[in-house]
Amino acid sequence: MSGFRVGDSCDTPGCQGSFENERDCSCHIRPPCDGCVEPLLSCSECGRDPNDEATSCA
């Protein structure tokens, strides 16, 4: 996992957005839900997924 979390500022140069969780929380049904345990992050402005680059590590 990367160090990015929900609410962190986007690291794309010039982007003013912040990362949000694309997954819906269903903790009211079965906590902790996948959305909270393994959030799917994307920038609110540019849509960047900070975890997309995890493959660069050989």
Judged by CB under 5 A, the chain residues 11 through 40 that form the site for Zn ion are: 12, 15, 17, 25, 27, 33, 35-36
**Please, what is the minimum distance in Å from the beta carbon of residue 53 to Zn ion?**
14
3-state SS class at 43: strand
Question: Strand ranges (DSSP E) for 1-58?
Answer: 19-21, 41-43
Site membership for Zn ion, residue 53 (CB under 5 A): no
Tell me the C-alpha to C-alpha distance, in Å, between residue 3 and each of 8, 31, 55. Answer: 10, 23, 15
The footprint of Zn ion (CB under 5 A) covers: 10, 12, 15, 17, 25, 27, 33, 35-36, 43, 45-46, 48
